[in-house]
Amino acid sequence: MPEARDIANLLPLKALVLAPMSGITDPPYRLVASGKGADLAYTEMVSAAGLVRGNNGCSRLLEVYPQESPLMGQLYGFDPAVLAEAAAQVQEMGLDGVDINVGCPAAKVVRKGGGAALLREPARLRKVLRRVRDVIRIPLGVKIRSGWDTRSINALQIVQMAEDCGVDLVAIHPRSRSQKFAGEADWGIIRQTKAQTGLTIIGNGDVRTPEDAVRMIDETGCDGVMIGRGSWGNPWIFEQARGLIHEGRTIPPPTWEEKKGMILRHLEMHLERNGTPLGGLTFVKHVGWYLKGYPAAAEFRRRINTIRSKEALIREMEAYFRHIEGAPGKN
């Protein structure tokens, strides 16, 4: 087994973690989150088989900006040898850790034996984790769900097996695969698992506000809180949660000027990475999240869908900002 890893350097006490989200957690999004207090981020989920085959799209998902760290590269697949080879590549690319996805409920992933499908094959998962652990020196993580369905909750057994295989941290989303994102996450599963393992445990699921992050730590004893959808259009959730957790103080929501500045900075980075027209089209979802609740936001999103140049997109954005100055709902 490779030399010991120092997980403390990767994950500080009561850490705030940006969840991996396909089509969302690219380098610009990660920089926005880390700039507002995220201690650790994950890449988008990457096909191990695609990476090993030399697929340029898979390699691009693992690109790292020099100023972002620490960063976990998340892989999915089912073949131990392929996942081990892909993990070695992630290490060579300079990322700070490797994470194996054992929770994605998407049919296209599960049909191929990856993601949450591995919850039904613990023997195969054990082989995966051991092979990966044997080839990397950097921290190894696993992101899981509570089980395949409500009749087969096996999060504790999976975590105990992961600990035996040399895994360093586990992120637990306490919904089953069959639940997908419906219903409530059962934080009790995080609490019970944390109490019976020495592993670093990151809690995930239904953290929509800074107060939710505090409550998850208090109720479960987890070592860190993973935030996904709660950060959409609201990267300030990380600094607000940090204020409550580490300083016991409430940080006010961003002013309208701060929000405008953030949207334009994020847009600039997004366009620099993706160009136009693609960058403009893929940024529309972020615009919708940032401007949720603001006047005429839906009409504005439809309008910018037709724009094909960076300059025109920024002009339209600034015109919209001027239009709603002083409007109700502006901070």
Per residue in 227-282, pLDDT (tens digit) is 999 999 999 999 999 999 999 999 999 998 999 999 999 999 999 999 888 888 89
Measuring CA to CA, how many Å separate 172 from each of 151, 185, 285? 18, 10, 27
How sure is the predictor about 314, in pLDDT bands with cuts at 50, 70 and 90?
confident
Question: How many C-beta neighbours within 10 Å does residue 201 have?
Answer: 22
**Distances from the Cα of 150 to the Cαs of 178, 183, 186, in angstroms?**
8, 12, 11
pLDDT at 143: 98
| Res 295 pLDDT > 70 | yes
Q: Is the pLDDT of residue 3 over 60?
A: no
Closest CA to 17 of 93, 90, 99, 136: 99
- Scan for tokens 């380098």, then name that residue: 27
Alpha helices in 94-179 (DSSP H): 107-110, 122-135, 155-164
302 forms beta bridges with none
Contact 118, 128 (CB under 8 A): yes
Place of tokens 């010991």: 4
What's phi and psi for 77, nearest 5 deg? 160, -170
pLDDT digits (tens, 9 = 90+) for 66-121: 888 899 999 999 999 999 999 999 999 999 999 999 999 999 999 999 999 999 99
- Tell me what percent of the residues of the chain surpass a pLDDT of 70: 97
Does 104 participate in catalysis according to the annotation?
yes
Say whether pLDDT at 331 is over 80: no
* Given the residues 58, 104, 165, 222, the one annotated as active site: 104
CA dihedral 243, 244, 248, 254 (to 10 degrees): 50
Which one of 3.20.20.70, 3.40.630.10, 3.40.50.150, 3.40.250.10 gives the CATH number of domain 7-247?
A: 3.20.20.70
Across 220-323, where does the E strand assignment appear?
Answer: 224-227
In this predicted structure, the answer to whether residue 45 has a pLDDT above a threshold of 60 is yes
Which DSSP category does 245 fall into? I
- Tokens 């054990």 found at: 126
pLDDT higher than 80, residue 327: no
Question: Which pLDDT value is given to residue 299?
Answer: 86
